[in-house]
Amino acid sequence: LHFENQLRTALEQEQFELYYQAQVDTEQNRIWGMEALIRWNHPDRGFIGPDRFIPIAEETDIIHPLGAWVIRKACQQLARWKQATDTPPQVSVNLSAKQLHSADLIDTVHEAMETYQIMDGELELEITETAAMSDPEVAINQLSRLSELGVSLAIDDFGTGYSSLAYLKKLPINTLKLDRTFVRDIENDRNDAEICMATIALAHNLGLKVIAEGVETQLQRDFLAEHSCDYLQGYLFSRPLPPNEAELLLSPDG
C-alpha cells in the first residue's frame, strides 16, 4: 500500500520521465524510430526502472492514469521533434495488457493524437504477445480501432509467448519485435540463429516488418542485416536516453 501511494504521488508530482531508445534502419543506418521507456526519478531512491513498478501499477490500476500520461507525453515529444528536426522518427510506446483491454484506451490515444497533431504512421504502440492473446476478441477489436486511428502496431518480445500464426494473421499489426533473448547468442547458438531467420521470413511472408531487439555487437548486426531484418535496436546503436540527448541523435551531424 505504501508503494501504491508513492506511485500516485509520483504521478501527481511528475516524477516520471520518458527516455528514448533509437531504432535504426538496417540498410541506411538511419534512425527510423524512438521507443519511449519510462523511468521513475524517485526523490530518495534515484532512478527506478519500469520492471520494478509497472507490475505494481498494473495490479493497482494506477496503470490507467500512468499509461495515459505516457501516451500524451510521447505524443508531445513527437510533436516537438517534428518541429525541431527535418527527419523526425516515429515514436513507439509500450502498452500493458490492462491498458489494451481498457475501454478508455481508444479515447486516450485519439485525444493525444488530436492535441499534438499526430498523423498516420507517426505513433506506434507495442503490445506483448501475451497481452494480445488474452481475451482475443477484445484485443482484436481494440487493435482494429487503433489501426483505424492511424496508429502502427507492433508485437513486442515476439517468440517468447504463445501466439499462433492463425491468430497473428487476424491482427492488424505492422511490426514484429524479435525478442532479445534470441539475438543474444545468435553467433554461437545454432537454434537461436535459426529462430531469428525463421521469424524474419515469417514476418515478411505476412507482410510485416521486423525489429531485432538487444543488438549489442557488430557480429549480431551483420548476421541480422544479411538475413534482411528491417530495423535494429540495442546498445550497439544507443542506450535509452533522456529527450535532449536523444534529440542530438536526430540531427544530421548528431
* Partner whose footprint covers residue 214, from ligand G, Na ion, Mn ion, none (CB < 5 to 8 Å by kind): ligand G
The nearest distance, CB 155 to Mn ion, in angstroms, is 10
* Partner whose footprint covers residue 38, from Mn ion, ligand G, Na ion, none (CB < 5 to 8 Å by kind): ligand G
Nearer to ligand G, 154 or 250 (CB): 154
Nearer to Mn ion, 126 or 230 (CB): 126
Is 250 near ligand G (CB under 6 A)? no
Separation of alpha carbons 213 and 157, rounded Å? 8
Is 122 near Na ion (CB under 5 A)? no
Nearer to Na ion, 122 or 156 (CB): 156
With CB atoms as reference, the residue minimizing the distance to ligand G is 234
DSSP for 44-101 reads: TTEEE-HHHHHHHHHHTTTHHHHHHHHHHHHHHHHHHHHHH-SSPPEEEEE--HHHHT
Separation of alpha carbons 46 and 40, rounded Å? 8
Separation of alpha carbons 98 and 242, rounded Å? 27
Q: Report yes or no: 224 and 215 within 8 Å, Cβ to Cβ.
A: yes
> Interaction with Mn ion in 106-145: which residues (CB under 5 A)?
126
Q: Report yes or no: 75 and 114 within 8 Å, Cβ to Cβ.
A: no
Separation of alpha carbons 107 and 217, rounded Å? 41
The nearest distance, CB 106 to ligand G, in angstroms, is 17
Is 132 near ligand G (CB under 6 A)? no
Select from 89, 85, 83 the least CA-distant residue to 116. Answer: 83
The nearest distance, CB 123 to ligand G, in angstroms, is 13
User: Would you state the cell numbers that stand for residue 80, as one nine-digit string?
Assistant: 516537438
User: Would you state the cell numbers that stand for residue 238, as one nine-digit string?
Assistant: 544507443
Is 157 near Na ion (CB under 5 A)? yes
Nearer to Na ion, 26 or 94 (CB): 94
Q: Say how many Å lie between the first and final Cα of the chain, rounded.
A: 45
Nearer to Na ion, 6 or 96 (CB): 96
Give the CA radius of gyration of the chain: 18
> Interaction with ligand G in 32-71: which residues (CB under 6 A)?
37-38, 49-51, 54, 70
> Interaction with ligand G in 133-162: which residues (CB under 6 A)?
156-157
**What residues make contact with Na ion under the rule CB under 5 A?**
156-157
Q: Which residues bind ligand G (CB under 6 A)?
A: 21, 37-38, 49-51, 54, 70, 94-96, 156-157, 180, 213-216, 234-235, 240
Binding interface with Mn ion (CB under 5 A): 94, 126, 156
